[in-house]
Amino acid sequence: MIYTVSFNPSLDYVQDLDCVNLGYVNRTSGEKILPGGKGINVSMVLKNLGFENQALGFTAGFTGEVLKSMLKAKGVESDFIELDAGMTRINVKIRAKEETEINGQGPKISADALEQLYQKLETLQGGDILVLAGSIPESMPQSAYMDIMKRLQDKKLKIVVDATRDLLVNVLPYKPFMIKPNNFELGEIFGVEIKDKDDVCKYAKKLQEQGARNVLVSMAGDGAVLLAEDGSEYRAEAPKGTVKNSVGAGDSMVAGFIAGYLITDGGADAYRNAFEMGVCTGSASAFSEELATKEEVEGLYVKTFGKK
């Protein structure tokens, strides 16, 4: 089974407008509310691709209720821990000439609620895949993902981590199955500016030496790189298309990677397939109004890599 954890899920309030005039009243030409949060996006795309999974994490208040009912309507299984106070955040995504995002802080997670999550995670079985993705509320220590991995280290899970800075770096000694920084996040970790794919490989290798089994680095419109645990290296240009919405492209890539890996059952060509599926799923979401459907991913896969 695949599980995703979102410590800080959201409702994403997407607003379309021509331009934003700061200090004035701005009016939208369209708006919608979508379930959000990196783990939740991974869950939704996995479901679209035909992989059953369960979304875990924390919800609070009326926004948390709306989030749960939206996921239910999409057929995504979830089992959230309800917090006593606060509310699930609403993240504002402004799509004008440029995309601007304003993400909320999210509710406080009590020690008791955290312990409830740990208890749930204790029930995972060897071979399960666990995705830890997104930021954590400010009240929590940057060791949160590491603490989970430490507690689960004897379970033989495949743990995927999509996070930034210390939250990501701290998990490396626990040998995550896959990590997915983007090129800026990779540069931030080492205090350098990443200029091209050679730089990406150089610094991704350092993360591998520190413990990550597979390092997938996304570069938005410039494509991606994978350093796989079997020593192979893959590079791809991003598929061409019209970008409609880049929110969730990275999460889609994570979902596509997992799907591609599972389709080949971890066999000989698993990492090539995982990489190619990751790239196509990320781009298919970027070219779509919302997260990519299976048909959109398959269509782009054939167009990009010429096979199914």
Ligand X SMILES: O=P(O)(O)OC[C@@]1(O)O[C@H](CO)[C@@H](O)[C@@H]1O
**Catalytic center residues:** 251
Burial annotation 118-153 (CB, 10 A radius, 16+ → b, else e): eebbeebeeebbbbbbbbbbeebeeebbbbbbeebe
Residue recorded with tokens 């009912």: 69
Q: Is 106 left (phi over 0), alpha (psi -120 to 50) or beta?
A: left
What is the per-residue binding string for ligand ATP in 278-297, x denoting contact by CB under 6 A? Answer: -x--xx--x-----------
CB of 34 to ligand X, least distance (A): 7
The whole-angstrom separation of Cα 154 and Cα 146 is 14
182 binds, among ligand X, ligand ATP, none (CB under 5 to 8 A by kind): ligand ATP
- In the complex with ligand ATP, which residue's Cβ is closer, 114 or 243? 243
Taking CB under 6 A as the criterion, which residues in 225-264 touch ligand ATP?
238-239, 243, 246-251, 253
Using the rule CB under 6 A, is 12 a contact of ligand X? Answer: yes
The whole-angstrom separation of Cα 120 and Cα 51 is 21
Q: Is 75 left (phi over 0), alpha (psi -120 to 50) or beta?
A: left
What is the per-residue binding string for ligand X in 65-104, x denoting contact by CB under 6 A? Answer: --------------------------x---------x-x-
Could you tell me which residues come within 8 angstroms of residue 153 by beta carbon, excluding any fewer than 6 positions away?
174
10 binds, among ligand X, ligand ATP, none (CB under 5 to 8 A by kind): ligand X
Q: What is the bridge-based pairing of β-strands 77-82 and 89-95? A: unpaired
253 binds, among ligand X, ligand ATP, none (CB under 5 to 8 A by kind): ligand ATP
- In the complex with ligand X, which residue's Cβ is closer, 67 or 228? 67
What three-state secondary structure class fits 178? strand
Residue whose Cβ sits closest to ligand ATP: 250
CB of 295 to ligand ATP, least distance (A): 18
Identity of the amino acid at 31: E
- In the complex with ligand ATP, which residue's Cβ is closer, 37 or 64? 37
Interacting residues toward ligand X by CB under 6 A:
8, 10, 12, 36-38, 41, 91, 101, 103, 134-135, 247-248, 250-251
